[in-house]
């Protein structure tokens, strides 16, 4: 992210909609578990600018492999590699990812991935929008569709998303995009290059239908900053969660998030992982009431039409 965006973000005055982390989880995951535990790893913005910087993703994989508990699946919220990456970079990425103790991976395209064009789709052939289900959890994954710095989502993709949300109100719904909704209240949602184009069409649906969580990346902001998590009661109580980047820099560590669901529980625990320091940041733990219990028989995730 360029210096001007950093300056703008750091002077944004929050509107009072940020979520206060609970800091209530132990180091092995959620407390007081009652059933099977489903673990989802959410990461974003890997995109090493040079081969030397690839070590950050390699370190993140090594860090995750030290955890006693294996992840059930992982989701990458866009910008896997830099724009116009070549085959060698994709080969490195896939070989590194293969080393992780993660059985299944899903991803969306960010703006850098779209700029790579058909090569990206050759290695990651999922459509630009698709759904993943596991138990009664439903993930709706929406890629960038144009190479601009904003997140451009077509009307066709939006109509599919709206229909999926309306038809599945009996499920726990999570939406994943690269950019943020303009009305999310997240730090950075006032910057045009970081938002979903046509956000208001999504926001109108959220006022009428329940989406539990909306996760996004793109800003690279440290997860300890105020405004990287926001709950909007005016948008159906959706919790907007920004996922940082797998990178290190000025005032930045490599970070991602973990989501813990438990069979029979109506709570999800969201934890912030600092890969640079090899630890969970306990003061950034969040407990979220889902409105309905998670129901799971232990089956793996699957893509659905």
User: Residue 57 domain-assigned?
Assistant: yes
Beta sheet of 129-134, edge-to-edge order:
229-232, 238-242, 213-216, 172-176, 137-142, 129-134, 302-304
Looking at the whole model, is its pTM more than 0.75? yes
Tokens 């991935």 correspond to what residue? 113
Cβ atoms of 191 and 9 within 8 Å: the answer is yes
User: Residue 268 domain-assigned?
Assistant: yes
* The pLDDT value given to residue 28: 47
Query: How crowded is residue 303: how many other Cβ atoms within 10 Å of its Cβ?
Result: 14
Q: Which residues pair with 132 in a beta bridge?
A: 139, 303
* The pLDDT value given to residue 106: 98
Q: Which residues pair with 72 in a beta bridge?
A: none
Distance CA 123, CA 254 (A): 25
Distance CA 40, CA 73 (A): 5
Helix (H, G, I), strand (E, B) or coil at 274: strand
* The pLDDT value given to residue 149: 96
* The pLDDT value given to residue 94: 98
* The pLDDT value given to residue 17: 44
Q: Strands 255-262 and 37-43: what pairing? A: antiparallel
* The pLDDT value given to residue 35: 79
| Count of structural domains within the chain | 1
User: Residue 24 domain-assigned?
Assistant: no
Distance CA 57, CA 63 (A): 10
Q: Which of 258, 214, 263, 256 is nearest to 236 (CA)?
A: 214
User: Residue 5 domain-assigned?
Assistant: no
* The pLDDT value given to residue 23: 44
Domain extent at residue 252: 32-304
User: Residue 1 domain-assigned?
Assistant: no
* The pLDDT value given to residue 2: 52
Cβ atoms of 244 and 199 within 8 Å: the answer is no
pLDDT mean values, one per 10 residues, the chain (305 residues): 45 43 47 75 97 97 94 98 98 98 98 97 97 98 97 98 98 98 95 96 98 97 96 97 94 96 98 98 97 96 91
User: Residue 142 domain-assigned?
Assistant: yes
Q: What is the 3-state secondary structure (H, E, C) of 121-155?
A: HHHCCCCCEEEEEECCEEEEEECCCCCCCCECCCH
User: Residue 125 domain-assigned?
Assistant: yes
Q: How far is the first Cα of the chain from the last one, in angstroms, to the nearest whole number?
A: 35
| Joined tokens for residue 163 | 């229909």
CATH number for the domain that contains residue 52: 3.60.21.10
Distance CA 210, CA 169 (A): 7
**Alpha-carbon radius of gyration of the chain:** 18
Distance CA 257, CA 241 (A): 9
Distance CA 278, CA 62 (A): 9
* The pLDDT value given to residue 34: 55
Distance CA 235, CA 203 (A): 6
Burial state string for 105-142 with b = 16 or more CB within 10 A and e = fewer than 16: bbbbbbbbbbbbeebbbebbeeebbbbbebbbbbbbbb
């Amino acid at each position: 992210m360029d210096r001007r965006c950093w300056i703008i973000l750091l002077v944004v005055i929050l509107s009072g909609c940020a979520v206060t982390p609970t800091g209530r989880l132990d180091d092995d995951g959620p407390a007081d578990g009652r059933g099977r535990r489903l673990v989802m790893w959410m990461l974003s913005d890997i995109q090493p600018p040079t081969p030397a910087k690839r070590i950050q993703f390699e370190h993140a994989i090594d860090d995750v492999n030290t955890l006693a508990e294996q992840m059930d699946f992982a989701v990458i919220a866009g910008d896997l590699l830099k724009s116009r990456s070549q085959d060698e970079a994709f080969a490195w990425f896939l070989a590194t990812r293969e080393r992780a103790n993660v059985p299944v991976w899903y991803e969306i395209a960010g703006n850098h991935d779209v700029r790579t064009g058909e090569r990206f789709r050759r290695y990651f052939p999922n459509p630009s929008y698709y759904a993943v289900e596991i138990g009664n959890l439903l993930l709706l994954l929406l890629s960038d569709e144009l190479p601009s710095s904003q997140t451009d989502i077509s009307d066709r993709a939006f109509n599919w998303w709206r229909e999926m949300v309306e038809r599945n109100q009996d499920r726990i719904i999570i939406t994943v995009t690269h950019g943020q909704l303009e009305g999310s209240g997240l730090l950075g949602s006032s910057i045009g290059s970081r938002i979903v184009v046509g956000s208001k069409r999504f926001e109108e649906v959220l006022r009428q239908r329940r989406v539990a969580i909306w996760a996004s990346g793109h800003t690279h902001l440290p997860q300890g900053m105020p405004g990287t998590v926001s709950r909007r009661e005016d948008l159906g109580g959706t919790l907007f969660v920004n996922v940082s980047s797998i990178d290190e820099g000025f005032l930045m560590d490599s970070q991602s998030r973990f989501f813990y669901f438990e069979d029979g529980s109506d709570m999800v625990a969201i934890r912030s992982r600092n890969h640079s320091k090899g630890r969970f940041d306990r003061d950034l733990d969040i407990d979220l009431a889902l409105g309905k219990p998670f129901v799971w028989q232990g089956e793996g995730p699957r893509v659905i039409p």
